[in-house]
């Protein structure tokens, strides 16, 4: 998960862990890319607006590397056409903030269930 807002990152991390999901949290997309996204990862959640590389840029970088993990884009900066752009770029889901924790968990579950199989 990539989220630059400390409180949001910690809240999502606690929510995912309470639901039984392991979670690695990063402040920037560059930090996530510096570590290898391993086979143990089943889904990625990223904020859209990040310092440096955006969430959409991160999605493009992962796809260019052949990494097809389900990608959930979250944003507090929803704008016309952004949802469509996210889906055209390969996002599995798009959630404008604020969203309910239950909605995020349902979205993660659906993304994992429908992820492409190797």
Please list the pLDDT of the chain residue by residue as tens digits (118 residues): 999 999 999 999 999 999 999 899 999 999 999 987 655 688 999 999 999 999 999 999 999 988 889 999 999 999 989 999 999 999 999 999 999 999 999 999 999 998 766 5
pTM for the model: 0.92
Residue position matching structure tokens 């944003």 = 75
6-99, what's its fold? Rossmann fold (3.40.50)
Closest CA to 2 of 39, 27, 21: 27
For residue 11, CA distances in Å to 41, 44, 95, 101 come to 20, 16, 16, 9
pLDDT in tens, 2-11: 999 999 999 9
What six digits make up the tokens of 114?
A: 């429908």
């Amino acid at each position: 998960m990539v989220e630059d807002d400390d409180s949001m990152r910690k809240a999502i991390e606690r929510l995912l862990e309470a639901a039984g999901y392991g979670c690695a949290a990063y402040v920037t997309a560059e930090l996530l890319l510096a570590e290898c996204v391993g086979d143990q990862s089943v889904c990625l959640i990223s904020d859209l607006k990040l310092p440096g590389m955006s969430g959409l840029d991160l999605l493009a970088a992962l796809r260019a590397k052949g990494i097809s993990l389900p990608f959930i884009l979250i944003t507090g900066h929803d704008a016309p056409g952004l949802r469509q752009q996210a889906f055209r770029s390969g996002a599995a889901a798009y959630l404008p903030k604020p969203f309910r924790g239950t909605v995020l968990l349902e979205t993660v579950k659906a993304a994992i269930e429908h992820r492409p199989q190797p």
